[in-house]
A = this chain, B = another copy of it.
Amino acid sequence: MCRWLAYSGSPVLIEQLLYTPVHSLIDQSLHSQLGAETTNGDGFGIGWYDETRKPGIFRSIEPAWNDRNLHELARHIRSPVVFAHIRASSGSPVQQTNCHPFRHGRWLFAHNGFIDGYFDLRRDLLLAVDPEVFRGIEGTTDSELMFHLALSFGLDDEPLRALERMAGFVEETGRRHGIAEPLQMTVAVSDGERLYAARYASGPVVNSLFVSADASSVRALYPDDERFAPFSEESRAVVSEPLGDLPGVWHEVPAGSALVVQAGEDEHVSFTPRSPSA
């Protein structure tokens, strides 16, 4: 289990997202409140978009809380679309290639959750990855494999539909192996233009997911809190768990639903796994 954050909006210093909030992701790396584990110390990663062609990523196997390079970069990198992830391994090795976010071309991907029985399913799941996309797999996590399945099932053209096909395929494969509830996930994916997030589980236990209220509502609630000043109306943070406990700032994303953060109105839609062969 892990914790992640995805932000889209006014360009911000990554420090404002990662270190400034009361219950920041750095705090969550030591004291997660809603995760399966309180400690998320098995590596971390950040990803960000700028004027260059591909998003940048910085990943490390150290715990986030005392990592000096992370704090340095967070003080110097400003970006309108930022991913951050702290990892608690559920069995795969602690290595950079297993740290989120994963990248393919313009796409970034982050995940919290797991595929139940993953080590039994892994070979079958790998075989379904498009051979062209296959060579991008460098690590051994279920998360990276889910990303490459989504890429194989049309992420470029229909992002949410491709995520639904990925979820459907994982469930099909799991059930063929006798796994009752194969999938547990909150995911974020972006091409730098839009931010897609989904919350889904095969069974009744669903990992938490929250999205921040629009900035004008937040500022109306907390007119004197200058931490909210830099954020435009369009700015949104999607997070595994709230970065603080101010009432009115964080809204739960319903289980079995997805979210598109974009210029203009955001979209809230249902999320239903479907067969990729359909």
Asked, given contacts A56-B76, A75-B52, A126-B126, whether A89 binds B69 with beta carbons under 8 Å apart, the answer is no
> Which residue of chain B has the shortest Cβ distance to A70 in the bound complex?
B58
**Beta-carbon contact of B77 and A93 below 8 Å:** no
Q: Are A63 and B63 in contact (CB under 8 A)?
A: yes
Q: How many residues does chain A have at the interface if contact means C-beta atoms less than 8 Å apart?
A: 47
Known: A76-B52, A76-B77. A58 touches B69 (CB 8 A): yes
Pick the interface stretch among A37-45, A161-169, A244-252. A37-45
Offer 29 A-B interface pairs, CB within 8 angstroms, sorted by A. Answer: A30-B38, A30-B39, A31-B38, A38-B38, A39-B41, A41-B41, A48-B76, A50-B76, A52-B76, A54-B75, A56-B75, A58-B69, A58-B73, A59-B69, A61-B62, A62-B62, A62-B94, A66-B89, A68-B93, A69-B69, A77-B77, A93-B95, A93-B97, A119-B135, A123-B126, A126-B126, A127-B127, A138-B140, A140-B140
Per-position 1/0 for A144-178, Cβ under 8 A of B: 00000000000000000000000000000000000
What separation, in Å, do the CA atoms of A144 and B232 have in the docked complex? 43
Give me the interface of A with B, judged by CB distance under 8 Å: 30-31, 37-39, 41-42, 48, 50, 52, 54, 56-63, 65-66, 68-69, 72-73, 75-77, 89, 93-97, 119-120, 122-123, 126-127, 131, 134-135, 137-140
Residues B96 and A93 in contact, CB atoms below 8 Å apart: yes
Bound CA span A120–B69, Å: 25
Of B57, B72, B95, the contact of A95 (CB 8 Å cutoff): B95
A170 to chain B, nearest CB (A): 17
Q: Are B72 and A56 in contact (CB under 8 A)?
A: yes
Which B-chain residue is minimally distant from A124 (CB atoms)? B131
User: What residues on B are CB-neighbors of A123 within 8 Å?
Assistant: 126, 131, 134-135
Given contacts A69-B58, A96-B68, A96-B95, contact A63 B41 (CB under 8 A): yes
A38-B38, A122-B135 known; A140 vs B97 contact (CB < 8 Å): yes
Query: Across the interface, do B73 and A73 meet the contact criterion of CB distance under 8 Å?
Result: yes
**A69 nearest CB neighbor, chain B only:** B58
Bound complex: CA of A39 vs CA of B120, how far in Å?
32
For residue A61, which residue of chain B has the nearest CB? B62
Known contacts A122-B135, A127-B127, A131-B123; is A56 also within 8 Å of B68 by CB?
no
Q: In the bound complex, do residue A66 and residue B94 qualify as a contact, i.e. CB atoms below 8 Å apart?
A: yes
For the complex formed, measure the closest distance between the CB of A69 and the CB atoms of chain B, giving whole angstroms: 5
Contact residue among B42, B59, B60 (Cβ-Cβ distance under 8 Å from A66): B42
Least CB distance, A70 to chain B, in whole angstroms: 10
